[in-house]
Chain A
Amino acid sequence: KNEVEQSPQNLTAQEGEFITINCSYSVGISALHWLQQHPGGGIVSLFMLSSGKKKHGRLIATINIQEKHSSLHITASHPRDSAVYICAVHQGAQKLVFGQGTRLTINP
Chain B
Amino acid sequence: ETGVTQSPTHLIKTRGQQVTLRCSSQSGHNTVSWYQQALGQGPQFIFQYYREEENGRGNFPPRFSGLQFPNYSSELNVNALELDDSALYLCASSPASGANVLTFGAGSRLTVL
A residues near B, CB below 8 A?
Answer: 4, 30-31, 33, 35, 40-45, 48, 50, 86, 88, 90, 92-101
Is A41 in contact with B90, judged by CB distance below 8 angstroms?
yes
Is B42 in contact with A98, judged by CB distance below 8 angstroms?
yes
Q: Decide yes or no: A41 and B88 within 8 Å by CB, A95-B58, A100-B42 being known contacts.
A: yes
Is B42 in contact with A101, judged by CB distance below 8 angstroms?
yes
B109 on the A face (CB < 8 A): yes
Least CB distance, A105 to chain B, in whole angstroms: 15
B2 on the A face (CB < 8 A): no
Closest to A33 in B: B102
Is B104 in contact with A94, judged by CB distance below 8 angstroms?
no
Alpha-carbon distance between A41 and B87 when the two chains are bound, in angstroms: 11
Closest to A100 in B: B42
| 7 closest residue pairs by CB, A with B | A94-B56, A98-B42, A93-B98, A41-B107, A42-B106, A43-B104, A31-B100
Alpha-carbon distance between A99 and B101 when the two chains are bound, in angstroms: 18
B residues near A, CB below 8 A?
Answer: 33, 35, 37, 40-45, 48, 55-56, 58, 88, 90, 92, 97-98, 100-107, 109
Q: Which residues of A contact B102 (CB under 8 A)?
A: 33, 45, 48, 96
Is B103 in contact with A94, judged by CB distance below 8 angstroms?
no
Q: Which residues of A contact B48 (CB under 8 A)?
A: 94-95
Is A94 in contact with B41, judged by CB distance below 8 angstroms?
no
Closest to A97 in B: B45
Q: Which residues of A contact B109 (CB under 8 A)?
A: 41
Q: Decide yes or no: A94 and B100 within 8 Å by CB, A41-B107, A86-B42 being known contacts.
A: no
Q: List 13 A-B contacts (CB under 8 A).
A: A30-B100, A33-B100, A35-B104, A40-B106, A41-B37, A43-B104, A45-B103, A88-B43, A94-B33, A94-B56, A95-B58, A98-B43, A101-B42
